[in-house]
Amino acid sequence: MPEPTVDVNVPRFNQAVVAVLTAVAFVAQLRWLVALTFVVLAVSWLGGPRFAPLTRIYLGLIRPRLNQPVEYEPAAPPRFAQLVGSVTLGVATVFLYGGAETVGWALTLLVTALAGLAATTRVCVGCILYEKVVAR
């Protein structure tokens, strides 16, 4: 059975949205937005592309407007990165609502930085971790 693949722009779009949402959450000190971003990533990871809210937005609204051919990449590394981001934001949410806001915001900013890096440079640290640790 062939390895599942994904349009290379889907993870980049998802990462850009996550970076923006978490940055806005930090600047405006919106703990609920961190929690919401965690839920979006968790649903995306657990349900796969069919149930991923950001993927559905990209495929429904953006992809049809592009006139370029679709490039594909293996789906497993970006999905693993979603898992890592989801767990990190889940832990951040617990800290934010549990009274350890400094730790919660630090974890949120870590996700912001890594998602922004991946969205702008295609250097996906979660994907690299997947290749080095999981795919061995």
Averaged over 37-46, what is the pLDDT?
94
Residues 124 and 61: their CA atoms lie apart, in Å, by 24
Residues 128 and 111: their CA atoms lie apart, in Å, by 15
Q: Quick one: pLDDT band at residue 135, thresholds 50, 70, 90?
A: confident
| Terminal-residue alpha carbon distance, the chain | 19
Crossing angle for the helix pair 31-47 and 101-121, to the nearest 10 degrees: 50
Q: What is the percent of the chain where pLDDT is above 90?
A: 74
Per the model's pLDDT, the better-predicted residue between 1 and 128 turns out to be 128
Which residue from 118, 109, 117 is spatially nearest to 21, judged by alpha carbons?
109
Give me the pLDDT at residue 53, please: 92
Statement: residue 115 has pLDDT above 80: yes
Query: What does each C-alpha distance from 88 to 1, 55, 61, 91, 93 come to in angstroms?
Result: 32, 20, 28, 5, 9
pLDDT, one tens digit per residue, over 62-112 is 888 888 778 889 989 999 999 999 999 999 999 999 999 999 999 999 999
